Structure 1
Amino acid sequence: MENVAANPTKVATKWTLFYVLVSIVLTYTFEFLNIAPESPLKYISYIPFIAFLFLAQKEFKDQLGGYITFGQAFTTGFRYSLFSGLLLAIFVYLYLAVLSPGMLAHSLEQQQQVMADKGMSQDQIDKALEIGKKWGPLFGMIATALGSLIFGCIISLIGAAIFKKERSVYDVQDSNPDATV
């Protein structure tokens, strides 16, 4: 039987795919239930992000034989965050531009009211809405990618501190996994 080396990219990719699928389901569930994008329920989507990031770090630790350095744990979480942000950014762009442009229109209506409450002139509001209609999906895509990466880096640091378990000088790595004690 061939020993396969632990690979943080492979682990991160696996958990990224799980997270993106869960996020897509949550997005459409919120839309189906008419839950407003500004509702506090939107924070539910952070739970699977954090859980899958920790699961990626734990799986990589397990693949390394139960020992992991802070850097290895952080790298796994960083890769998960990067991949999640990129895939989710693509979904957000498609969602706002093609799949559900009504959500962008609803968001722009909300912003129109906020701008009016701040005392902006109708000309300023119209210009802002025009920019939002034209560039909204792209802004959403960029914000998703950067937000996921930044938030993920913070959570990766926390997870790395939790999962870190380095070998001591007395821990001997078994070079023959088939050997019995």
Structure 2
Amino acid sequence: MEDAVEKKMSPFKHMLNTGLILGVVSILFTVVTYLTGDIYKQNNWENWVSLLVSFVLVYYFTVKYRKEECENYLSYGQAFKFGWISMMISAAISLVFIMILQNVIEPDFMSKMMDVQREAMAEKGMSDAQIEAAIAFGKKFQSPAIVIIVGLVWSMIISLVISLITAIFAKRNRPVFE
């Protein structure tokens, strides 16, 4: 006779699934901006859309986890942890894709990006000497190790902020007196 009690998935499996979904969404967003050529532009609206999508998805999956696995109760700390770990899994997936994009799919990605930066600096009226100094400084940060480190630090900060904010809205404490 089978037990009627449903076996619940571990919290980490939920975080892993959420991180995988967020990572795939991030990769799709990157692919679209790459295929349209917008990846080389500094379009702030695309960054804001990506940030908004991250907020919405982290909130959605945290609430879904709360409802399905936590009897509709989740503390602020649990909600924060769920969002942050999910986003860090997503960040790792996205960074792997970025490395593949920059080193395999588009090996001259960084030089194209520097060309875009050079044009932007020239439009701002910087002298050739200033532009070359800025480009030389920027080249110091193009190694894969530096890109990964900066990407991880930036992802940790963004994930922290998104998780802190979404946890405010996704939490639901158990009533003190039941």
TM-score by length of 1: 0.78
Residues 19, 49 of structure 1: 8 Å contact kept:
yes
Equivalent runs, 1:114-125 vs 2, <5 Å? 117-119=125-127, 121=129, 124=133
SS of corresponding position for 1:167: coil
Asked if 1:161 is matched to 2:153, the reply is no
Partner of 2:158: 151
Change (3 A) 1:50 1:127: same
Partner of 1:49: 54
Q: How many residues align?
A: 169
Deviates more, 1:161-170 or 1:71-80: 161-170
Deviates more, 1:52-61 or 1:2-11: 2-11
Q: Quote how far apart the aligned CAs of 1:74 are.
A: 0.7
> Aligned-residue CA RMSD in angstroms?
2.5
The one-letter code matched in structure 1 to 2:82 is T
Partner of 2:43: 39
Query: 1: CA distance between counterparts of 2:45 and 2:107?
Result: 21
Asked if 1:66 is matched to 2:108, the reply is no
Asked if 1:131 is matched to 2:140, the reply is yes
Q: 1:100 aligns with which of 94, 97, 106?
A: 106
SS of corresponding position for 2:24: helix
Change (3 A) 1:41 1:124: same
Change (3 A) 1:128 1:15: same
The one-letter code matched in structure 1 to 2:112 is H
TM-score by length of 2: 0.80
Residues 57, 163 of structure 1: 8 Å contact kept:
yes
Query: 2: CA distance between counterparts of 1:41 and 1:96?
Result: 23
Query: 1: CA distance between counterparts of 2:29 and 2:45?
Result: 11
Query: 2: CA distance between counterparts of 1:75 and 1:170?
Result: 26
For structure 1, list consecutive stretches of 5 or more residues without a partner in the other structure: 172-181
For structure 2, list consecutive stretches of 5 or more residues without a partner in the other structure: none
Partner of 2:14: 11
The one-letter code matched in structure 2 to 1:33 is T
Q: Quote how far apart the aligned CAs of 1:139 are.
A: 3.2
Residues 23, 89 of structure 2: 8 Å contact kept:
no
